[in-house]
A and B are shown apart, each in its own frame.
Chain A
Amino acid sequence: MQKDLKNITDSVMDQIRNDKIKMRPRIYFILGSILTFVGLASSVVASIFLVGLVRFSIRSHGPMGGFRLEQILSSFPWWAPVLAVGGLITGIWLLRRYDFAFKINFKLLILGFVLAIIVGGLIVDTIGLNDALVRRGPMKGIMRQYMQENNIQGESSWRWNRTP
């Protein structure tokens, strides 16, 4: 044991003194934390928006939309749920990096996270935040393009379609 102690101490300290190993600067860890948080927040926001878009897309086919399955399938923005799930997975992966994550039952954490995003998406769609995003938000381009590609007529059509 004493031999191991001396060997390890000498070996590690030699590498430190000869600058073969260096401490990472503090900014590396600060940036890491900030990027993790930004990534987590972005994945949540993106997932919420995409859940809203999926709901809007299903509703935008009119009161008889449920019977026009083929039309829904052909014009449905499949990239949205794929990206939403991608955002969720990224968010969960980032969440695991936080120190507190292991102290909570992880299955519950994931369930809560997914539920929060779905509920968030429904709330955003219900209160009409999507309307604001179409008019002036950061997702303006995506929503406009989606509506043009699928012949959805502007805000008035959207409003009409919102009626149950």
Chain B
Amino acid sequence: MSDISKLTDEEIVEKVRSSDRDLYAVIIERYTNKLLRYASHLVHDDDRASHIVQDAFIKSYINLNGFDTKKKFSSWIYRIVHNEAMNVIKKFQKEVPILADFDFESEENIVESLEQKEMSVEINKCLNSLPLIYAESLSLFYLEEKTYQEISDILRIPMGTVAIRISRAKKLMKNICKKT
């Protein structure tokens, strides 16, 4: 088992595909909590998040042979969860706002001055109030600690758009957190 824990996700996927399908449990254990947290931020409902993550693991297994092991498995599985969450959100659109128009009154950026840890706490408090397109970028960047490149791969948007969304999300956070 200690050998398995040293293997990368991509190496485990290769083994699951070629010989040992039981190793897929290792992948599930590595990612379930992270993906549950991400899905919860998107759909604001733990039960739905749980279903989303389970469906994502099933779809991931079915399509495992389509995964390119030269790329990052984490981006791939996050992308599947993202797609599943979007389907759920569309289904229950009235309950979860997908987009909202916001005014950006201030250019001042007080969030940047906070320490990473404090910022995570702040983000957790206010994230649910953010429009989805900003919440998902911010959640991936600060909570899941993904790089711009990884966020770009997960959300299928250019890196420039990732940067813009995160920057706007910070400003929105400032306004929302001030009110709460």
- Chain A residues in the interface with B (C-beta under 8 A): 1, 4-5, 7-9, 11-13, 15-17, 21-26, 28-29, 32, 102-105
Contacts and interface: CB of A to CB of B under 8 A. Distances in A.
Contacts of A5: 29, 32-33
B66 A24 contact: yes
B167 interface: no
A158 B74 CA distance: 60
A46 B19 CA distance: 44
Contact of B50 (A8, A24, A103): A8
Interface string B129-161: 000000000000000000000001000111100
Contacts of A23: 17, 21, 61-65
Given A5-B29, A102-B156, A105-B158, A12 B36 contact: no
Contacts of B58: 12, 15, 21
The listed residue with most B CB atoms (<10 A of its CB), out of A12, A26, A28, is A12
Interface residues on B, range: 20 to 34
Contact of B54 (A8, A102, A103): A8
The listed residue with most B CB atoms (<10 A of its CB), out of A4, A17, A24, A29, is A4
B65 A24 contact: yes
B177 interface: no
20 contacts: A4-B32, A4-B53, A5-B29, A7-B50, A8-B54, A9-B25, A9-B28, A9-B29, A12-B28, A12-B58, A12-B61, A16-B61, A21-B58, A21-B62, A23-B63, A24-B65, A28-B66, A32-B66, A103-B152, A103-B159
Contact of B65 (A4, A15, A26): A26
B36 A13 contact: no
A7 B53 CA distance: 11
Contact of B24 (A16, A24, A104, A105): A16
Contact of A4 (B25, B36, B158): B36
Interface in B5-52: 17, 21-22, 24-25, 28-29, 32-33, 36, 46, 50
A24 to B, nearest CB: 6
Nearest to A1: B33
B57 interface: yes
A29 B65 contact: yes
Nearest to B158: A103
Nearest to A32: B66
The listed residue with most B CB atoms (<10 A of its CB), out of A22, A23, A102, A104, is A23
Contacts of A105: 158
Nearest to A96: B156
Contacts of A21: 58, 61-62
B158 A28 contact: no
Contacts of B33: 1, 4-5
A12 B57 contact: yes
Contacts of B36: 1, 4
A16 B25 CA distance: 10
A4 B57 CA distance: 13
Nearest to B50: A4
A107 B25 CA distance: 42
Q: Top 5 closest A-B pairs, CB basis? A: A102-B156, A29-B66, A26-B65, A5-B32, A9-B28
Contacts of A12: 24, 28, 54, 57-58, 61
